[in-house]
Amino acid sequence: MSALTVTGVTKSFGDTVAVDDVTLHVPHGSLTAVLGPSGCGKTTLLRLVAGFLDPDAGTIAFDDRVVAGEGRPATPQQRRVGYVPQEGALFPHLDVAANIAFGLPRAERRSPGAGSDRVDEMLDLVELPRTFRSRQPHELSGGQQQRVALARALAPRPSVVLLDEPFSSLDASLRETTGRAVARALRAAHATGLLVTHDQAEALSLSDQVAVLRAGRLIQAGSPADVYLAPHDPELARFVGGATSLAGRCDRAGADPDRRHADSDLGRVSLTHPAPADELVLVVRPDQVRFGESGVAARVDEVSFYGHDAAVRLTLTASGTPLVARVTGPTAPAAGDDVLVSVYGPVHAYPAPDCD
């Protein structure tokens, strides 16, 4: 049984359907990322789970306890979910220890021993020094505030922890370290987490399951590898990991009975699955584009150098098709170079919208 089960949940605001018939299972002890661009309904979904909103249809259950959809919905305080909002939202009038102990039962909060132990335990868990106990929230950096917010959410041992874009206000390097620390802490606490994010890298790197939401609908749910390697459609492929779309064609009459190859501006490429149609959209990941001694002629338009790797924007000389490649930093060509490119490994193919 899943720790959290969302079944056919729908929520509208006026004429806008924010969450449309979403069904999602979050297994015990896992971290599930709800991924989507802003406005896709992911925060609404999280607020429905937290109990700040009530669904128009569908049910929400923690284990076998239905909290919404049957009878009167449970209030947020009855659901006992841990909630980590954007920017932490620590109580500004309480110090770190009082923030973390906020949700503990009164007896535990008041007694210096037990509650105190739990606070230290939580500080350890989120990898903050115990000396932070008496700090005021405004004395903490953004990342530290997020960790305290997580410790506060975890302290009462909730069945599910909800994280609402918790890292979006942090700068890039802090986002990554804080994200990893949070994921470690969740695993160490054997907590079930639901992370809402618009950042595909964050979703792929931190979670066990990625649920992709678009315009209120759940497009795909699966492991990070599934979502990256077998995206549901070209749009999702571009959204998750970035990709170049190319027109492709699988000739029925060709000597390819398995239909595992297609012709394109990049030459003949192999497919991950049998071609679903004759006219295809091929999705080429940047890391699949290789420079070499042979291949299709292209000109380098622009190089974005990131150190360990580089993004290279090219135009195929013959067809004028734009293409993005990602190569290790030192091997990157310079803008203006003429190069030969080829595709490494099989690519995903989707039916072209005009055909079939």
Partner 1 sequence: MLLAGAAVALLALVPLIFIAVYAVLVGPVEAWHLVVRPRMGQLLWNTLSLAGACMATCAALGVALAFLVERTDLPARRLWHGLLVAPLAVPAFVNGYAWVSLDRSVHGFGGALLVITLSYYPLVYLPAVAALRGLDPALEEASWSLGHSRWLSFWRVVLPQLRPALLGGVLLVGLHLLAEFGALQLLRYPTFTTAIYDQYGSTFNGQAATMMAGVLVFFCLLLLLAELRLRGRRHYARVGQGAARRAIPVRLRGLRLPMVAVPTAIAALAVGVPTYALVHWLLVGASTEFPLAELTEATASTLVLATLGAVATTLLALPVAWLAVRYRSRLTTAIERITYVPNALPGIVVGLALVIASLRLAPVTYQTALLLVIAYAILFLPRAVVSVRAGLEQAPVVLEQVAHSLGTGSLATARRVTLPLIAPSIGAGAALVFLAVATELTATLMLSPIGTRTLATQFWSASSDLRYGAAAPYALLLVLISVPATVLLMRQERLQP
Interaction site with partner 1 (CB under 8 A): 50-52, 75-77, 79-83, 85, 87, 89, 91-93, 102-103, 138, 141-142, 145, 152-153, 156, 158, 162
Question: Between 68 and 237, whose beta carbon lies closer to partner 1?
Answer: 68
For the record, the structure tokens of 32 come out as 């599930």
Question: Between 72 and 138, whose beta carbon lies closer to partner 1?
Answer: 138
The β-bridge relationship of strands 209-214 and 217-222 is antiparallel
How far, CA to CA in Å, does 182 sit from each of 143, 195, 296? 10, 11, 45
CB of 100 to partner 1, least distance (A): 10
CA distance 261 to 274: 8
CB of 85 to partner 1, least distance (A): 5
Burial of 317 (0-12, 13-18, 19+ CB in 10 A): middle
- What is residue 194's three-state secondary structure? strand
Q: How many CA atoms lie within 13 A of 127 on its CB side?
A: 13
Burial of 14 (0-12, 13-18, 19+ CB in 10 A): exposed
Question: Between 101 and 204, whose beta carbon lies closer to partner 1?
Answer: 101
Output helix, strand, coil percentages for the chain, rounded to the nearest 5.
Answer: 30, 35, 35
CB of 104 to partner 1, least distance (A): 9
CB of 174 to partner 1, least distance (A): 12
Question: Between 80 and 260, whose beta carbon lies closer to partner 1?
Answer: 80
Question: Between 31 and 246, whose beta carbon lies closer to partner 1?
Answer: 31
Question: Between 74 and 277, whose beta carbon lies closer to partner 1?
Answer: 74
CB of 84 to partner 1, least distance (A): 8
CA distance 199 to 164: 12
Question: Between 109 and 259, whose beta carbon lies closer to partner 1?
Answer: 109
Residue carrying the six token digits 């599934």: 226
CB of 209 to partner 1, least distance (A): 22
For the record, the structure tokens of 186 come out as 């969740």
Alpha helices in the chain (DSSP H): 42-50, 76-79, 96-101, 106-110, 112-125, 142-154, 172-188, 200-206, 224-229, 234-239
CB of 78 to partner 1, least distance (A): 8
CA distance 20 to 346: 34
CA distance 177 to 170: 10
CB of 76 to partner 1, least distance (A): 4
Question: Between 154 and 227, whose beta carbon lies closer to partner 1?
Answer: 154
What is the H or E stretch that residue 224 is in? Answer: helix 224-229
